Amino acid sequence: MTAMGKRTPILLLLMLAILCGLLTCMLWYPLKAARVVAKSRSCMDNLKGLGLAMDRYRQANGRFPAKLSDLYPKYITDFGSFSCPGNPREIRRPEDIDSLAGYVLFKVDVPADPLSSLDWMDKPLLTDRRRNHLGKAGGVWGGNILYADIHVAWMPDTHPMEPDTVDIVTSNFSFDFPN
């Protein structure tokens, strides 16, 4: 075999390795962005499920629960529902629900006749913790909020840490997420 014939497979393997590296680099950031969106959607689904359970609790008791663990096991049986997928801490026992939950519960007072005044329905009921949805370089860029009327909305954080997100935060559409 000639010297040229011996080099051909090595060159082909080298070109294949370079091509695979380029494809990986081109697809890395879109795949990472898709993961972030999927985590946010899963977080919204968890909040929606918690909201429905909290509403059933309110209908049965005339008030929202004082702590998230009041929902277990009668209204929610899955520990994963109490935590955002972006929360680094995992809940394994009922005792951990309130201390390790990925969400912060707000006190919302419901009038004796809930239909007499609907002001209470516009109040935040549950929010993400600040660490749940980190942006590039660890900067927080927002989170999900569950309102008492059981709708979930994404809001930018009022204290973004990334220079490229400062322009999306306005006083009309911002929220100071708890730690």
pLDDT tens string, the chain, 179 residues long: the values are 565 566 678 888 889 999 998 888 888 777 777 777 788 888 999 999 999 999 999 999 988 999 999 999 999 999 989 988 888 788 899 999 988 888 888 888 877 777 777 778 888 889 888 777 766 545 557 788 999 888 998 887 665 554 444 443 333 445 566 65
The answer to whether the pTM exceeds 0.75 is: no
119 with 130: CB under 8 angstroms? no
Name residues whose C-beta falls within 8 Å of residue 104's C-beta, 6 or more positions apart in sequence.
126, 127, 128, 129, 178
